[in-house]
């Protein structure tokens, strides 16, 4: 399987500031990574598909200017929440799929905007 490392695990930021979350695939070259958001007691919601060397594909309703995704290498994708607001507080998780049979997840990032 793939080892996916996500950083930071927890972050608290002030409203209006930006936060960057990193997702690293440590032992697998991932041309594609996925970013999810999960609100309490709800399912994982796919936000965007991150493609190495090209623009990310965003799901309907996700603001691409607010959630900036950069996938500059086969092992690193970043999600930047710009001008964060309290309603952006959530659990953000990245994942990598090896083939089509298994998804490996980062540890997740708990974002709290105050």
Partner 1 sequence: GQNIDQPTEMTATEGAIVQINCTYQTSGFNGLFWYQQHAGEAPTFLSYNVLDGLEEKGRFSSFLSRSKGYSYLLLKELQMKDSASYLCAVMDSNYQLIWGAGTKLIIKP
Where along the sequence are the contacts to partner 1 (CB under 8 A)? 1, 6, 34, 41-46, 91, 93, 100-108, 110
Which of 82, 98 has the CB closer to partner 1? 98
CA 55 to chain centre: 14
Q: Cα-flanking dihedrals φ and ψ of residue 60, to 5°?
A: -60, 135
Question: CB of 103: closest distance to partner 1 in angstroms?
Answer: 6
Which of 70, 107 has the CB closer to partner 1? 107
Q: Give the span between the Cα atoms of 90 and 108, in whole angstroms.
A: 10
Which of 32, 82 has the CB closer to partner 1? 32
Q: 105 forms bridges with which residues in the sheet?
A: 95
């Amino acid at each position: 399987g793939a080892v996916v490392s996500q950083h930071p695990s927890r972050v608290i930021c002030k409203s209006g500031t930006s936060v960057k979350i990193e997702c690293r695939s440590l032992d697998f070259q991932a041309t594609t990574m996925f970013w999810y958001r999960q609100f309490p007691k709800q399912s994982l919601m796919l936000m965007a598909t991150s493609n190495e060397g090209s623009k990310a594909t965003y799901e309907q309703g996700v603001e691409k200017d607010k959630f900036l995704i950069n996938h500059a290498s086969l092992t690193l994708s970043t999600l930047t929440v710009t001008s964060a607001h309290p309603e952006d507080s959530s659990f953000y998780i990245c994942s990598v799929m090896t083939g089509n049979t298994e998804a490996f997840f980062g540890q997740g990032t708990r974002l709290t905007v105050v």
